[in-house]
Structure 1
Amino acid sequence: MIQFSTAVKNARLAAIATAIDAGESPASFVVYSGSRPSPSAAVTDQVALATLEVPQPFAADISSGVLTGAGFEEVMADADGEATWARLVDGEGGWVMDLDVGIEGSGADVTISSTTIYRGIITRISRIIFAEA
């Protein structure tokens, strides 16, 4: 297994934060229902359940191989559905990453208390944390 120094881990995480902050507008974190497309592929019949504006700058802290994002503002969900994946796009709408969504203990990249989303419910992300192994 390859192991990196903390300095290299922090530099990789800084590159992720820079990608998220690209563009003059804030990035978006969009939670979807339906099948997750191939990386960077267009969204087709998937339904955007909630769109959260990513704080800019995104990184609140990068240290010891951990990137802690700034806190998000809550939003109202846009549609009803079962959350299965999320997409993070930069301020220009450029693809940054896709993530699986599931409940606590599911092993998903993003965990939420319930994957069932209803239009008009408050949707919040406390923080996003990326940790280098």
Structure 2
Amino acid sequence: MTIGLSATARNARLDAITTQAGANALLKFYNGTRPATGGTATTLLATLTCGATLAAASSNGVLTFNAVTAGTAAATGTATWARLTTSGGTFVADFDVGTSAPAEIVMGTTSIVSGAQVSISSGTLTEGNA
């Protein structure tokens, strides 16, 4: 049976991600198959720095990332997933990456070239039955 949560409960769960990420969280992009939650990462392609706050308060079960600073790619490959960590590198969440929804992290292209600038178009999480 699928759980049905109130908007208040969905928002609280999403806002906990922003709280855990803390100031200047990191969004790290990887190639290959996404591991089990928090598992050993594949090849790191790029690291981007999130703002002082990852996102504004969620609304109607949707959390939308604030601006994320572009970064320089460390390796060449195809971004298939991303990991959100605290600024100190502590695991917070793993996300799908793509060029359109339903991927949580949307990029103009997932083809990353070492030394090139990497940016995202959007980051959006939808909770439960929203």
Whether TM-score is above 0.5 comes out as yes
Q: How many residues align?
A: 127
The aligned counterpart of 2:103 is 108
The 1-side partners of 2:53 and 2:100 are apart by: 27
The aligned counterpart of 2:51 is 55
2:127 aligned with 1:128, yes or no? no
Equivalent of residue 77 in structure 2, options 77, 81, 99:
81
Provide the secondary structure at the position in 2 that maps to 1:63.
coil
Q: What is the identity, as a one-letter code, of the residue corresponding to 2:19?
A: T
Q: Percent identity?
A: 38
TM-score by length of 2: 0.83
Gaps of 5+ in 2: none
Q: What is the identity, as a one-letter code, of the residue corresponding to 1:42?
A: T
Provide the secondary structure at the position in 1 that maps to 2:58.
strand
The 2-side partners of 1:74 and 1:112 are apart by: 11
Gaps of 5+ in 1: none
Q: 1:32-66 deviations in whole A, cap 9, x for unaligned?
A: 112222211223xx221110011121122322222
The aligned counterpart of 1:19 is 20
2:1 aligned with 1:5, yes or no? no
